Amino acid sequence: MKKLFIGLLLTSILISCNNQKKETPKTETQPIIEKQTKPSFDEALYQKKGKEIAMATFKVFKGHIQKVASTQGLPAVVDFCNKKAIQLTDSMAQANNVIIKRTSHKLRNEKNAPDAAQKEILDTYLKAQKEGQALKPIVKKDKDGYVHFYGPIKLKHECLKCHGQPEKDISPAIYKVIKEKYPNDQATGFKVGDLRGIWDIKFLEKK
């Protein structure tokens, strides 16, 4: 009887020890898991900053285009974009300590061809557009640690004059200049609200 009592006591002690060992790792590892899942940068902040830079850059473009159109005519706008668009983008980028690129799945200027990351974003937006989903900005970090703001560029009504249907929206005079400046142009045939391309704003302060 004494041996049986001792055996039961030892069994109880072993079970108690095992239960304590199983519970300890949970309390020790929980803070580590939470630390690993914490975002490495403030996504909302970069959303805000990216939108502000994109809107400011668009405003500068629009102001110059309207001035050229009113003083020299619409065909001159195509020539202006050909010579000055990248310079304007670069000046806005320098002022904001970023790199700004506009690219598209249907290029006009071949210098704006998308890289692999930009093509992936374009494909994501095109799929969403096809499925009738809202096109929302995307913020993500690249392999080198830089944060990128990607924002959709949707075609506005006033853009049809250079990016709509030839002969219907685009006058023969403008279309002639487009083909002269951009022999391999693909950037026509759009409708209002279509995805025209994307902004890629790369922030140069590494996080």
Q: How many other β-carbons are positioned within 10 Å of the β-carbon of residue 94?
A: 11
pLDDT on residue 207: 54
- Give this prediction's pTM: 0.78
pLDDT on residue 206: 63
Residue ranges of the chain whose pLDDT lies below 70: 1-40, 206-207
Whole-angstrom Cα Rg for the chain: 29
Q: Answer yes or no: are the C-beta atoms of 36 and 79 closer than 8 Å.
A: no
pLDDT on residue 203: 96
pLDDT on residue 170: 96
pLDDT on residue 41: 78
Q: Which residues are within 8 A (CB) of 199 and not within 5 positions of it... i.e. 6 or more apart?
A: 50, 54, 57, 100, 101, 102, 149, 150, 151, 152, 153
- How does pLDDT run across 168-188, given as a tens digit for each residue? 999 999 999 999 999 999 999
pLDDT on residue 147: 96
